[in-house]
């Protein structure tokens, strides 16, 4: 290849390329951080609402106990126990969400850029993580999928064939399932 640029110009362009690359990497890390904060904030808000409901149930239980209505003890106690169980499950789910985000970031090859993470309730107690991004090479997608499949936190990792159509610079989407109580 013929090099038409002088050394000084080449150094300047290379330095500017590195600055842009670092800026994009920092933006991606910041984006993942903001997504994590949104997820954590919504789970925390739901947990606070559940705690408030629990306090109200316990207050009603105490009031009915003072009034001497023994017939409602069993149902009130069952409601309070149900609320306590949901509150504990939400705390565990919050820990699991942060573990999922850690796993997604930890096993990401250098050629993978994550552009979106969507967390939603699946069937039963399960959760679905929909992950979108761009890959520099097809092999980066395959490496990432294999690394995620080896992690016990995920019960399934789905990668459609459309992820493998392009050899380089391709968009990809993954669907990962996990159970909050599996670890």
pLDDT tens for residues 2-19?
A: 678 888 888 999 999 999
CATH value at residue 13 = 3.30.70.60
Q: Is residue 107 part of a domain?
A: yes
Residue 50 is assigned to a structural domain of this protein:
yes
pLDDT at 176 over 80: yes
The strands making up 127-137's β-sheet, listed across from edge to edge, are 112-121, 127-137, 168-178, 156-158
Residue 128 lies inside a defined structural domain of this protein: yes
Long-range contacts of 161-169 (CB under 8 A, 24+ apart): 163/135, 164/138, 166/138, 167/137, 167/138, 168/136, 168/137, 168/138, 169/134, 169/135, 169/136
Question: Domain range spanning residue 108?
Answer: 7-178
82 assigned to some structural domain: yes
pLDDT at residue number 81: 62
| DSSP H or E stretch at residue 171 | strand 168-178
Name the token pair of 61. Answer: 């239980």
CA–CA gap between residue 57 and residue 53 (Å, rounded): 6
Contact 112/141 with Cβ under 8 angstroms? yes
- Is residue 99 within 8 A of residue 153, CB to CB? The reply is yes
**Averaged pLDDT score across all residues of the chain:** 81
Q: Per-residue pLDDT for 128 more than 90?
A: no
Rounded to two decimals, the pTM is 0.49
Tell me if 1 is assigned to some domain: no
How many structural domains is the chain composed of?
1
According to the model, what pLDDT value does residue 146 have?
93
User: Is position 154 within any domain?
Assistant: yes
Q: How much is the pLDDT for 182?
A: 46
| Largest pairwise CA distance in the chain | 94
> According to the model, what pLDDT value does residue 3 have?
73
> Mean pLDDT throughout 128-144?
91
In a domain, 2, yes or no: no
pLDDT of 32 over the 60 cut: yes
pLDDT at 25: 94
In the predicted model, what is the mean pLDDT of residues 133-143? Answer: 93
25, two tokens: 């990497």
pLDDT at 153 over 70: yes
Give domain status of residue 183, yes or no: no
More confident residue, 162 or 88: 162
């Amino acid at each position: 290849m013929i090099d038409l640029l002088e050394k000084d110009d080449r150094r300047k362009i290379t330095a500017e390329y590195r600055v842009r690359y670092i800026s994009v990497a920092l933006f991606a890390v910041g984006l993942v951080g903001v997504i994590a904060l949104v997820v954590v904030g919504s789970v925390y808000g739901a947990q606070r609402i559940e705690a408030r409901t629990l306090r109200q149930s316990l207050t009603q239980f105490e009031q009915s106990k003072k009034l001497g209505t023994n017939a409602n003890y069993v149902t009130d106690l069952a409601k309070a126990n149900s609320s306590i169980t949901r509150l504990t499950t939400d705390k565990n789910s919050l820990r699991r969400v942060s573990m999922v985000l850690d796993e997604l970031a930890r096993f990401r090859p250098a050629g993978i850029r994550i552009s979106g993470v969507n967390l939603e309730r699946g069937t039963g107690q399960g959760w679905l993580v929909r992950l979108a991004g761009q890959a520099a090479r097809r092999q980066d997608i395959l490496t990432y999928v294999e690394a995620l499949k080896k992690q016990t936190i995920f019960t399934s990792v789905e990668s459609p064939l459309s992820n493998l159509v392009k050899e380089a610079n391709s968009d990809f989407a993954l669907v990962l399932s996990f159970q909050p109580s599996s670890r």
